[in-house]
Amino acid sequence: MVGRTIDGKAVAAGVRGNVAAAVKTLPEQPALAVVLVGDDPASQVYVTSKGKMTKEAGMRSIDIRLPADTSEADLLVQVQALSRDPAVDGILVQLPLPKHISEPKILAAIDPLKDVDGLTEASAGKLVLGKPGLRPCTPVGCVILAKTERPDLSGANVVVIGRSILVGKPAALLFLEQNATVTLAHSKTRDLKMVCRGADILVAAVGRPEMVRGDWIRPGATIIDVGINRLAAPERGPGKFRLAGDVAFTEASRVAAAITPVPEQALLLAGTGVLLQRAPRSITCETVAAATRAARPFGSRMW
């Protein structure tokens, strides 16, 4: 028996429709600025997808691509300028940054009201405290997709593999908000395979291609694969590659009740981005929210 493929496309289409409708109610077209430094393959795929889906939602996409040798000072100036620019409603700095640049310093330069990826200290603090605020898009997408299979997550055993600030930690907190019982696993977790086998819902956010094998999965579990890894594929020709998730899809689909496809699903999660905050919200939705506030002023890589 093969597990169901979770239809993230349908969810994403609904989000884009809702966002596009919200955009039309605003006095000006909202703008999302995405900053990419260097040529990380996965980051390039994400950024291209984000730009495309932002435009599809009726918003203006500002695509800023800088060389890998960009200095920290120059990047800081760029982000500070975007934070001050009233024509920019949302800012997303694609991580990881080159090693010579301090990610915390750059993220701290983002205006919290424009932090559509929910990575500033202000946004993270609100998440921990359970206060309203901008949330990291991919983790919220994970929750929404999990709820398409299990609408009530109360008491569900959720295992999140990966403790990054981008996905792992916020995903754990967001599932906890849904009253799930959450285990945050990582590189130092003992007997990781057995920990994963206890999951009703398994979220893989490691950045290691096909690390999670079929025998790591509890029969009937729901699998959310956040990974997107670019691998050489010489069988397709010189210089060709293929995209793979963190889960061995073929093996896992024989055990799981439901599973997200890759790479399509990872792009939907992070590119649209599928679903930020309470459903149906997204990176693009958060930019709309930031623009609405402006129009109505009272209204690490470690896994």
Read off the pLDDT of residues 255-275 as tens digits, 9 standing for 90 and up.
999 999 865 554 454 433 322
Decide if 214 contacts 256 (C-beta within 8 A). no
Q: Give the percent of the chain with pLDDT over 90.
A: 51
Can you read off the two tokens belonging to residue 247? 């889960």
Task: List, edge to edge, every strand of the sheet that includes 157-161.
Answer: 4-5, 258-259, 222-225, 201-204, 157-161, 181-185
Could you read off the pLDDT of 177-207 as tens digits, one per residue? 999 999 999 999 999 999 999 999 999 999 8
Cα dihedral sign, 46-51-54-55 = negative
Can you read off the two tokens belonging to residue 100? 């010579």
Residue type present at position 20: A
The pLDDT value recorded for residue 111 is 94
Strands (E) in the chain, as ranges, are 4-5, 31-37, 60-66, 90-93, 157-161, 181-185, 201-204, 222-225, 229-232, 241-244, 258-259
Catalytic residues: 50, 94, 117
Domains of the chain, by residue range, sit at: 23-113+283-292, 136-271
The pLDDT value recorded for residue 282 is 44
Average of per-residue pLDDT across 240-247? 88
- Cα torsion for 227, 281, 170, 295, to the nearest 10°? 130
Instruction: Tell me the range of 18-22, 107-111, 227-231 where mean pLDDT is highest.
Output: 107-111
Strand 241-244 versus strand 4-5 pairing type: unpaired
Calpha distance 134→63 (Å, rounded) = 21
One fold for both 23-113+283-292 and 136-271?
A: yes
Q: In the structure, what pLDDT confidence band is assigned to residue 228 with cuts at 50, 70 and 90?
A: confident
Give which of 159, 169, 168 is closest to 205, Cα–Cα.
168
Could you read off the pLDDT of 1-14 as tens digits, one per residue? 577 888 877 877 77
- Which residues share a beta bridge with 92? 34
CATH entry, 136-271, from 3.40.50.300, 3.40.50.720, 3.90.1640.10, 3.40.640.10: 3.40.50.720
More confident residue, 157 or 51: 157
Q: What is the architecture, at CATH level 2, of domain 23-113+283-292? A: 3-Layer(aba) Sandwich (3.40)
Is the per-residue pLDDT at 26 higher than 90? Answer: no
State pTM to two decimals. Answer: 0.81
Can you read off the two tokens belonging to residue 125? 């603090």
DSSP state of 279: S
- Which residues share a beta bridge with 160? 184, 203
- Averaged pLDDT of the chain: 84
Whether omega for the bond prior to residue 139 falls within 30 degrees of 0, making it cis, is no
Strands (E) in 154-262, as ranges, are 157-161, 181-185, 201-204, 222-225, 229-232, 241-244, 258-259
